[in-house]
Structure 1
Amino acid sequence: MRSLLLALVSTLLVACTTAQAKPTNEGASTAPPEPKQPAISHLESSTPTRILFVGNSYFYYNDSLHNHVRRMTIAAGIAENDDLIFKSATIGGAALRDHAIDHLLDAQNLRVDAPFQIVIMQGGSAEPLSTTGRARFTATAAAYAAKARASGVQPMLYMTPAYVPPHQRYRPDMINDIASLYVETGNAVDALVIPVGLAFAEAYRRRPDIELHKSFDGSHPSMLGTYLAAATTFASVYSVSPVGNSYDYFGVVGTEDARFLQDVAHDTVTAFYGRDSQR
């Protein structure tokens, strides 16, 4: 199973790179470019307790991503309830540049006494699909990452999932555009990338019938999609496997689905970062 996922991640990252490269000479024979790999595989802080999520409706659907990550962290025994401060700042339909990052990075503006340790930043779902959107996202991520570090906060980037039918802009290879943008930007700004988009792709590969998106738009996450995103975020932040985590959103996520999504999150994260695969 792990070898199949490694092949998927490698194929996606190769495609992400080659999709951006255009031959300068039609008749020339050139070696394929090296696939882009994430340069950052671990956070500086192994057990952050103060995390800021900055994104849009992909975060706030289904009782908000930050709540699920927080509960998984408690269930894993990493920290107690009173020790965790997770805040979420979201704007529906927002691109990354729409957020007032200076205001948000000042923790006291969100009634938090101590500075945040991590900021998880999510771009708009359509930003990877155009040259203009990609350039704006990269420029904004670079500026916001610099501001975060100046405030003592480590930046992270949240790779969004691709659209699925019935979304009008659905394309089977959309994940290539997303992954390439986030990996290249993460490497450029020294930010850890959370491979949620790759986890969705892997879950659909293993179980094509699973519904990780809302059926009415093919864009927003379903409850299972948010659970997978939370498990992937949890594993990325803490370098701890989500497999066996008891959190199931108070019985809403079934045992079989929870274990399947935990497995996908674990396998995706370990393959993406090249981490130890021990569960």
Structure 2
Amino acid sequence: MLALLCRALAAKASLALAACLVTLHLSAQELPKPKITKPQVEMPLRVLLIGNSYFYYNNSLHNHIKRMLASGNPAPKESDIDYKSATISGASLAHQPVEWLVTPGQLGVKEGFQLVILADGSAAPLSDARRIESRRLIREHAATIRKHGGQVALYMTHAYAAPHRQTKPQNLTATARHYIEAANEIDALVIPVALAFEEAYRQRPNVSLHMTYDGSHPNALGTYLAACVTFSSIYSQPCKGNIYNYFGQFSPEEIAFLQSVSDTVVQRFFNR
């Protein structure tokens, strides 16, 4: 009974989000074009993610990206891959000690990070005041990261879903536009995770990518999709055929669907 109830709730939440997103899909081409359309670091092995609970749910996003890289083609030695994640629950970029985090040696990475992926709080793009503050922080943090020899990528957070009280159809466009414009301003790559969630819900309204109890945090499928998009964006490798499957937690059909969505969105986003 509990399993059936959970599935019913997941389907209800997914349908609600899909209804909100379907019209936005039609206007996706109206978003600003990304200025940076390919990775700025070739095969980065020392990577830091700075964000919040959207990153650390489900065994942490950075672990999944690292495992995809180790399972890719070409694949570096796993011992050469050094991924770190610095997350604070409910945090915005104002809460992150970026200078300390990216100073070589502070997190056990002597040579410093080649790439730092930044995500602001989920509500940062949803009001003028927060957008202005977020853009300021992104500029400051990007300068700090580059001072220490790293490049920057911005992580476009996914939109809220029902039952989250701030779920609105316009949130997706606001979020996507915010991160694209912020990335263009600092000449950084943007990782279009929000657009991949939207595409998955458009193709399959019954799929569940959010935690059903809050409509905010990603569930395991959502984290896997986010990892696919991040992996493909920063390494210019398709996800299709990557053998990493979260240690068998997902079916081959689920893996194929999420990899296909990711590849479609990444190709469309960077080549439009």
TM over 0.5: same fold?
A: yes
Which of 256, 261, 264 aligns to 2:258? It is 261
Which consecutive aligned stretches of 4+ in structure 1 deviate over 3 angstroms post-superposition? 7-10
- 1:52 is aligned to 2:48: yes
What do residues 39-69 of structure 1 show as CA deviations (whole Å, max 9, x unaligned)? Answer: 0011222211000000000000000000000
Q: CA deviation at 1:10?
A: 7.3
Cα distance in 2 between the residues matched to 1:108 and 1:9: 43
What is the aligned residue count? 249
Q: Percent identity?
A: 45
Q: 1:138 and 1:190 mapped to 2: Cα distance?
A: 13
Q: What's 1:146 paired with?
A: 143
**Whole-angstrom CA distance in 2 between matches of 1:8 and 1:268:** 14
**What's the offset of the Cα at 1:174?**
1.0
CA displacement, residues 229-273 of structure 1 (integer Å, 9 cap, x when unaligned): 000000000000000110000000211111100001111011101
The answer to whether the aligner puts 1:75 opposite 2:91 as a matched pair is no
Aligned mate of 2:34, from 34, 38, 42: 38
One of 162, 174, 199 as aligned partner of 2:159:
162
User: What residue identity is the alignment partner of 1:82?
Assistant: S
Conservation of the 8 A alpha-carbon contact between 1:195 and 1:272: yes
State the SS of the aligned residue for 2:27.
helix
* Separation of aligned partners in 2, 1:253 and 1:68: 13
Corresponding position of 1:113: 110
1:112 Cα deviation after fit: 1.2
Task: Report deviation, 1:13.
Answer: 4.7
Query: In the aligned structure 1, how far is the partner of 2:29 from the partner of 2:56?
Result: 28
Aligned to 1:134: 131
User: Which amino acid in the other structure matches residue 71 of structure 1?
Assistant: R
Letter in 1 for 2:133: R
Aligned-partner Cα distance in 1 for 2:147–2:190: 20
TM-score under structure 1 normalisation? 0.87
Q: Give, in whole Å, the separation in 2 of the partners of 1:181 and 1:12.
A: 14
Correspondence for 2:219:
222
Deviation of 1:107 (Å): 3.0
**Deviates further, 74-83 or 193-202:** 74-83
- The answer to whether the Cα contact below 8 Å between 1:9 and 1:271 also exists between their aligned partners in 2 is no
Aligned pair in 2 of structure 1 residues 9, 167: CA closer, same or farther (>3 Å)? Answer: closer
1:64 has 2:63 as partner = no
Unaligned runs of 5+ in 1: 1-6, 15-34
Give the one of 169, 176, 180 matched to 2:173. Answer: 176
Write the letter of the residue equivalent to 1:254.
S
How far the C-alpha of 1:113 sits from its partner, in A, is 1.4
Contact 1:186 1:192 in 2 (8 A): yes
The answer to whether the aligner puts 1:232 opposite 2:229 as a matched pair is yes
RMSD between aligned alpha carbons?
1.4
Q: TM-score, normalised by structure 2?
A: 0.89
Counterpart position of 2:206: 209
Deviation at 1:9, TM superposition (A): 6.4
Structure 1 residue 197 displacement after superposition? 0.4
Q: Which amino acid aligns with 1:94?
A: A
Identify if the C-alpha distance between structure 1 residues 9 and 39 changes in structure 2 by more than 3 Å, giving closer, same or farther.
farther
Distance 1:225 1:126 in 2: 18
